[in-house]
Structure 1
Amino acid sequence: MAKKQTAGRDNLGEFAPQFAALNDDVLFGQVWAKEDELSARDRSLITCSALMAQGLFPQLKSHMVIAQQNGVTKDEMVALITHLAFYAGWPKAWSAFALAKEIYQD
């Protein structure tokens, strides 16, 4: 079972409580928790792919950390970024590699 997510409440709880609750309870508490459909590792790969394709690098950084915690290896993240470079764009791959190097330091 995944760790209970509190980022919504921690960052936006007082400012946007409904959004914070939806983030923590629905997105992470229900959708991410359905590991009988997709593992947390697979969801991390999918999420990182979607965020890179959209160029949402602050969120991508956070989800790369989660991906690492969910068992995605450095080699797998490198392969994901390399593959997506041809579909999402070369500059996005460069930006994603900068994040991956920071997160997957040995």
Structure 2
Amino acid sequence: MTATTRTLSATALVLALGSALSMAAVSTAQAAAGDMEKCFGVSLKGKNDCAAGAGTTCAGTSKTDFQSNAWKLVPKGTCTTTESKTSSTGFGQIEAFKAKA
């Protein structure tokens, strides 16, 4: 086997593996989209799923526990029953909110 043949075989293997992983990620994301919802004010410091406003740029950037503009994906229908120490209701919210004093 020549060096060129080995390089092409390795490249083909890497591309096939990458393709398989991409398809799995898309399937997981689609399943999550249907079964999950964004819930604001329930994530712990540094455990938010992505940006929501000032002070967050993406996953893991929330500065405080229960930050009112940081969201976490939760099972659909559970957000408003999940504890939030900054929410006026005491539970997570479907949209960003102003934290209680």
* TM-score past 0.5 threshold: no
Instruction: Give the structure, 1 or 2, with the largest relative contact order (CA under 8 Å, sep 6 or more).
Output: 2
Q: Normalising by structure 1, what TM-score?
A: 0.27
Q: Normalising by structure 2, what TM-score?
A: 0.28
